[in-house]
Amino acid sequence: MTSGSPAPGRLTVLSGPSGVGKGSVVAVLRERHPHVWLSVSVTTRRPRPGERDGVEYHFVDQAEFDRLVETGELLEHDAHLGASYGTPRRPVEEQLTTGVPVLLEIDMEGARQVRATMPDAQLVFLAPPTFDELARRLVGRGTEDPAKVRVRLDRARIEMAAEDQFDVVIVNDDVERAADALVALMGISSTPEQ
């Protein structure tokens, strides 16, 4: 490279069933490697206790979400459990051009859409040690009523059968170990950033 511009970064997509611990793994990775850029998704769902707009999600109404879809401003989008979710396209593309490692934490339908539009993206499936453990985690969160938990578990059964659509599978039997595996896949130095 003679122009002196940075090499483009590689997009890594982390996906897996609800309750598998994607957020926990990403939190450990970001604590150790704050230079990894994590996309903040847009959603129409209400914030959970402690969630802040622009940090965990960008919270918008359905009309604004529909506008983002219609104008092509989302890299991927999906709807489930009565809410819509999507990834803003421009920030992802901007970060990739600067050479920064980019991570998306999204659902499986979104991962499929990213694969269709960005075939060089690395798709990583985060799996639970067992389905029973996943059920225990979802119930233990206590953030949703039993009917929604059942819907999530039914969806998780289907999602777990699709792990062969991903480039790599990481079993989340230990959050620290899973984060280390993700760091290695992203080609990030294993020494934590200061």
The overall pTM is greater than 0.85: no
**Residue at 41: amino acid letter:** S
In three-state form (DSSP H/G/I as H, E/B as E, the rest C), the secondary structure along the chain is CCCCCCCCCCEEEEECCCCCCHHHHHHHHHHHCCCCEECCCEECCCCCCCCCECCCEEECCHHHHHHHHHCCCEEEEEEECCEEEEEEHHHHHHHHHCCCCEEEECCHHHHHHHHHHCCCCEEEEEECCCHHHHHHHHHHHCCCCHHHHHHHHHHHHHHHCCHHHCCEEEECCCHHHHHHHHHHHHCCCCCCCC
For residues 171 and 128, the answer to whether their CB atoms sit within 8 Å is yes
**Distance between CA atoms of 23 and 153, rounded to whole angstroms?**
18
**Distance between CA atoms of 41 and 56, rounded to whole angstroms?**
8
Contact residues for 77 (Cβ-Cβ < 8 A; gap 6+): 65, 68, 69, 84, 85, 86, 87, 110, 113
Q: Write down the pLDDT at residue 1.
A: 38
Q: Write down the pLDDT at residue 190.
A: 56
Q: Write down the pLDDT at residue 125.
A: 96
For residues 37 and 94, the answer to whether their CB atoms sit within 8 Å is no
pLDDT by 10s per residue, the chain, length 194: 334 555 567 899 999 988 899 999 999 999 999 989 999 999 999 998 999 999 989 999 999 999 999 999 999 999 987 899 999 999 999 999 998 889 999 988 899 999 999 999 999 999 999 888 887 877 766 666 778 778 878 888 888 888 899 999 999 999 999 999 999 999 886 554 44
Strand partners, 12: 103, 122
Q: Write down the pLDDT at residue 8.
A: 63
Q: Write down the pLDDT at residue 115.
A: 94
Q: Write down the pLDDT at residue 124.
A: 97
Q: Write down the pLDDT at residue 117.
A: 92
Q: Write down the pLDDT at residue 142.
A: 62
Domains of the chain in sequence order: 11-186 (3.40.50.300)
